[in-house]
Amino acid sequence: MSILVDDDTRVVVQGITGGEGKFHTQQMVEYGTNVVAGTSPGKGGQDVDGIPVYDTVDEAVEEEDADASVVFVPPAFAGDAVFEALDTDLDLVVAITEGIPTQDMAKVNKRLTEVDTRLLGPNCPGIITPDEAKLGILPGNIFESGNVGLVSRSGTLTYQVVSNLTDRGIGQTTAIGIGGDPIIGTSFVDALELFEADEDTDAVVMCGEIGGEDEEQAAHYIAENMDTPVAGFIAGRTAPPGKRMGHAGAIVSGSGTGTAESKISALNDAGVPVGDTPNEVAEHVEDFL
Amino acid sequence: MRTQERMKLHEYQAKDIFAEAGIPVPESRLAASVDEVMVAVEDIGYPAAIKAQVHVGGRGKAGGIKIATSEEEAREAAEDILGMDLKGYTVEKVLVEAGVDFENELYVGVTMDRGEGEPVAMVSTQGGVNIEEVAEENPDAIAREHIDPAFGLHPYQARKVVYDAGIDRDVANDVASILTTLYDLYEEKDASDIEINPVMITSDGDIVAADAVMNIDDDALFRQPDLAEMEDEAAEDDLERKANDYGFDYVRLSGNVGIIGNGAGLVMTTLDLVDHYGGEPANFLDIGGGAKAERVTNALDMVFSDENVDAVVFNIFGGITRGDEVAKGINEALEAFDEIPKKVVVRLAGTNAEEGMEILNTDLVEVEKTLEDAVQRAVENAQEANQ
């Protein structure tokens, strides 16, 4: 079925009165997501398309029994918004915002060790369980319900690979964008752990990119702990060393890890076939099923 | 290069900030001409270091730093360094600095350990050399201490890492105090890296910051207006400056297939596929999320103005970005030409892609349905244009 979100998930949208918040709330509701509340400090008591707005996340959680939030708050205030969400008893917080200062995220990261709430992102497209719920900005129409889990650091690459899967009639249990920032809440390993424990997920796709060592750690986890087969894709094979390709996470360090080569060989060593093209990834998945 | 790299301060800018915070730095003057250098050395005396102020590492090895012990040497150094090309950057300013008679060189720095998600303070007795090489060849030569960002670097932690590094106890407390000041600056100024390499220890046991590195988190510049003003764009090439003005994530590469897309992961994948199908990418250009028509027009303008580009592939998978807006932008950009300078292949998918395909003027562009087909077609176009 799914991990983390389904049609029972009761969602509060932080920053619901902003342009992005409003537009994507409509999109989420249209998709079938159970959006029960929004927040916008100073705008409590209003509503957005019939969804009640509260001044604080606490009020929204208490009044509407919300258990997940999605953050569309601008970067200067997003760190604070995530802290606010972590101070409630939400199960899941999905931070879509791009451009949160790294030191704000370091503080958030520290707080995460002290609470039970799971953070997804920031700078991520969100999470979707096809035909049930989407929290974020993913284009719902390319997804199809099925038995393959997907986890990715890049939003648009997620869409690309999902469309390659769906075109072959391969549906998804849940697709998760974990975000491309240097400090993120949920890692590849965390997501793989959830998919491994999910009975309905028969195969997993993992889309990584250059920079950092998260893919290498994921490879290690797969080799040690996973029975569910995993296929991989790594973006940035041709990226010149030392250049930053958009994401802060995409700096290639000179130390031998973080390159496409090091990630691909770590995955191959863990028995994970890595596609040269997104289409090849879908072919590998097809072979598993 | 704000959109490609962390914003960098020049040595003289970082030293001003360090000095204000109480870190000892050598007496110095900034100079932009040989005459200004001569006035500066007169004030400062000999020996004096003449140091190129450009954003490249390894200035010393590349001839960008010279020590002058006489008027003649100072003039010669100034003439050599001012205007020189240092790894692609023209030297327009030099820092003239009092030479320090040192006995030891140390390294101290603070950066973000992304693996741990926390800042880390680093200290080494092997200062004055390429610290990345030290880190790779002899990682134990660098003592490290992770910092809880909620509490900052406690003085006892600073002392601990300095002791761990094996620094002489008679200067250890002074080095620890420099390190706590560095961390305070790192936090207060939203730095991504802050380093002194070397900290020099004089024969009298005084300590002096002989170099200074300070890079700032671009994403935090909104709350660091003073630092944002210090950004020096003079040395960038025209195309990169243009990309900066347009607010694109852009990297110029050496091939001839121009690439435009949305989202870093997908654009990198497009680059990889160009390579996979036997072509060579001319650039990385990410128009970002939610781009409107004007942004798309600007992106085409960018890629067309690169004379190395022979063909273009436009790859959009809309999530937050809408296909109809993208198509509108492509039409507007191309309708302005009597003759379109290079062939453009478009692939539109995702949010409002169907609406986009309906309004896209297919007399002006070639259309492919899949990513693979679009890239292959662009590579073929580039090869044909080259024959």
A205 — pLDDT class (breaks 50, 70, 90): very high
In this structure, are residues B356 and B323 in contact, taking their beta carbons and an 8 Å threshold? yes
Q: How confident is the model at residue B376 (pLDDT cuts 50, 70, 90)?
A: very high
Distance CA A119, CA A66 (A): 15
Position B73 pLDDT exceeds 90: yes
Given B119, B251, B263, which is nearest A243 (Cβ)?
A: B251
Chain A closest-CA separation from residue B317 CA (Å): 6
Could you give the percent of chain A with pLDDT greater than 70? 94
Arithmetic mean of pLDDT, A92-115: 96
Instruction: For B341-356, write each residue's pLDDT tens digit.
Output: 999 999 999 988 999 9
Residue A274 is given by DSSP the state B
Q: What is the pLDDT of residue B334?
A: 92
SS3 call for B144:
strand
CB–CB contact B117 A105 (8 Å):
yes
A19 assigned to a ligand binding site: yes
* Contact A275/B at CB under 8 A: no
> Which segments of A22-154 are extended strands (E)?
34-39, 47-48, 51-54, 68-71, 92-95, 118-120, 126-129, 133-136, 145-152
Residues of chain B in contact with residue A99, where contact means CB-CB under 8 angstroms, are 219
Residue of A nearest to B152 (CA): A107
Q: Coil, strand, or helix at residue B103?
A: strand
The pLDDT of residue B131: 79
Residue B27 structure tokens: 């007496």
Contact B371 A235 (CB under 8 A): no
Judge whether A199 is annotated as a binding position. Answer: no
| Cβ contact, residue pair A156, B272, below 8 Å | no
A22 carries a ligand binding annotation: no
How confident is the model over A76-83, as a mean pLDDT?
Answer: 97
Residues in B touching A248 (Cβ below 8 Å) = 219
* ipTM topping 0.85: yes
How many Cβ atoms from other residues are within 10 Å of residue A65's Cβ? 11
User: Sorting pLDDT into bands at 50, 70 and 90, what band is B123?
Assistant: very high
Q: For residue B211, how far is the Cα from the chain centroid?
A: 18
DSSP-derived secondary structure for A123-154: S--EEEETTTEEEES--GGG--EEEEEEEES-
* Residues A40, A45, A51: CA angle, nearest 5 degrees: 75
Interfacial A residues in 10-29 facing B (CB < 8 Å): 20, 24
Find chain A residues with C-beta within 8 A of B132's C-beta.
254
Give strand pairing partners of B65: B51
> Which of A80, A103, A110, A255 best probes binding to B when mutated, by most B CB atoms within 10 angstroms?
A103
Q: What is the pLDDT of residue A242?
A: 59
Q: Give per-residue pLDDT as tens, B220-259.
A: 999 999 999 988 765 456 787 788 888 888 888 889 999 9
